Amino acid sequence: MQRPVMLRRAAIAAMPLVFVVLWSTGFVGAKYGLPYAEPFTFLAVRLALASALLAGLAALTRSPLPGSRAQYRRAAVVGLLLHAGYLGGVFFAIGDGLPASVAAVVVSLQPVLTAALATKVLGERLLALQWLGLGLGIGGVALVLGPGVAAAQGTAAFAPAAVAACFAALLAGTAGTLYQKRHGDEIPLLSGTAVQYAAAALALLLAASASERMTIVWTATFVAALAWLVLALSMGAVLLLLVLLRRASAASVSSLFYLVPPVTALQTYLLFGERLAPVALAGVALAAVGVALVLRRPRATPAPG
């Protein structure tokens, strides 16, 4: 086998893992940046910068533009759901005092909701073993985050608006994933994503102007968090997500979100010294097994001779 082919296959195989690692840093970036900017203002700036950078990259590489008004409209809808809705809900919830672990528990239910709806919306079929994997993923996430949720519940009640925002993020992220899978394959990747970010940035700017003071404290920590979220998340992880959605089923790609809370917990340990309990380590392993089952491709059945 030629070396370029081997490298290409290795890169494709590594894409899900790279996506999980990058996506999981979003909670860490939010924790670093939200003390210096309100959530909608923070996200509007982040997505506006990402849109401009992607538009410039598309122009430099002479990537095609969306070919019709329908493609522009569909890209904008994905942006409103997958970025303004999902990220806006998560950032608002964390900014309103909901612990990041609780937010991660709620939005990690997206694979179950996506898998259930994909059977109706997209006509995707899941094997019994894949449904088992989804169940194991839920169990793994609960084991990893259960102690943190219990501790949070023992100290203070959650703000109803924060909880509602988190569930709104779950619904928006699920709808955006399904809509992108159904309508997004023909939209050019770079320019289409730039349109997504522009639409989301505009919506978040309107939300910020209506509900926030729109002030930012430009500290070194905030600038570093903003730069990481723009480059690693909005450009790296989201482009990987869209590529993965073109290569696999919506349910399989969404199952990767099961690994985000465990990886986030590991990053928190490395960055802030928070220790993982043995039950959480068991949850990491259980979630990994669940994802492996969902991503497992069934063997082709030989045609009758």
pLDDT string in tens for the chain (305-residue length): 577 767 777 767 777 888 888 888 888 888 889 999 999 999 999 999 999 999 999 999 898 999 899 999 999 999 999 999 999 999 998 888 777 767 777 787 777 777 767 766 666 676 788 788 778 877 877 776 666 555 544 445 567 888 889 889 989 998 998 888 788 778 888 899 999 999 999 999 999 999 999 999 999 999 999 999 999 998 888 888 878 877 776 667 767 777 777 787 777 777 777 666 677 678 777 877 777 776 665 554 444 44
Overall domain count for the chain: 1
Is residue 137 assigned to a domain? yes
Looking at the DSSP bridge assignments, the partners of residue 50 are none
Is residue 185 assigned to a domain? yes
Distance CA 111, CA 248 (A): 14
Is residue 84 assigned to a domain? yes
Is residue 176 assigned to a domain? yes
Nearest partner of 140 among 57, 239, 255, judged by Cα: 255
Is residue 301 assigned to a domain? no
Structure tokens at 106: 């709620």
Longest dimension (CA), the chain: 71
What's the pTM value of the predicted model, to 2 decimals?
0.77
At 90 the three-state DSSP class reads helix
Q: Note down the domain range covering 279.
A: 15-295
Is residue 115 assigned to a domain? yes
Is residue 4 assigned to a domain? no
Is residue 124 assigned to a domain? yes
Residue 75 burial (CB < 10 Å; 0-12/13-18/19+)? Answer: buried
